[in-house]
Amino acid sequence: MEEESHRHPSSKSHWFEPAAALLMAVSSLCTAWCSYQNSRWSGRSGNEATRADKLARQVASQHLEARQIEAIQTRMWMEAMDAKIDNDEPLERFYITRFTEELKPAYEKWVALNPFDDPSAPPHPFVAGIYVPRFNDETRTASVESEAAEKASNASGHVASSYLSNTVLLATVLFFAGTAGKFHQRRVKVWSLTFAIALFSYAVVRTLLLPIA
């Protein structure tokens, strides 16, 4: 009779150890997958961040160079205007023929507005709509690409952190599934394994909703 009562509880829990072992095995595989995805997405985030920084430095460098060129062109235009005021046509022509590709069309548009007689005309050609700084299109394109790369880096970093948090959840599953069998009370064992299964299900659902690198 005592032997039958000893077999009775064990027969009820014959599923416990296989279930715990299976849960631990699957959790281990999922943990490895999440760790791998975290590494991939972290690398992608780092690459996009590096690209965004490179483009931002390019924008800053081109902006500075464009301002330096504009300062030189402004000086040349002022010298040409001084020569015009002094009626020194050869000197005026000397400077005008040496206007750069940015200043020459801007100067022609400005002269067409008759600035010497029309007080409503711009006082100089270095105004928006007339003068286009060097690297203007390149700087605008690089700035847009830099912002896009920064957003992509942040998005990839968010995915990487989500995979990392799933790795932590799955490690918790492994802990509870591994220690559940060490408890003496059957109720504690069942609740420990049940919690591990529920946490595993939550982690799996979160993982399935994430993109794959």
User: C-alpha angle 180/8/190, rounded to 5°?
Assistant: 20
pLDDT at 70: 92
Taking only the tens of pLDDT, the chain with its 213 residues reads 444 444 444 545 577 788 888 889 999 999 999 999 999 999 999 999 999 999 999 999 999 999 999 999 999 999 999 998 999 999 999 999 999 889 999 999 999 999 988 889 999 999 988 999 999 989 999 999 999 999 999 999 999 999 999 999 999 999 988 887 777 778 888 888 889 999 999 999 999 999 998
Instruction: Look at residue 108 and give its three-state secondary structure.
Output: helix
Q: Cα separation of 129 and 105, whole Å?
A: 11
Domain residue ranges of the chain, discontinuous segments joined by +: 17-208
Tokens read off for 82:
């001084």
Residue in this structure with the two tokens 């205007």, named with its chain if needed: 81
Residue 169, CA atoms < 13 Å, CB-side half-sphere: 20
Q: Which amino acid is at 177?
A: A
Does the global pTM surpass 0.85?
no
Q: Return the number of other C-beta atoms located less than 10 Å from residue 128's C-beta.
A: 7
pLDDT at 13: 59
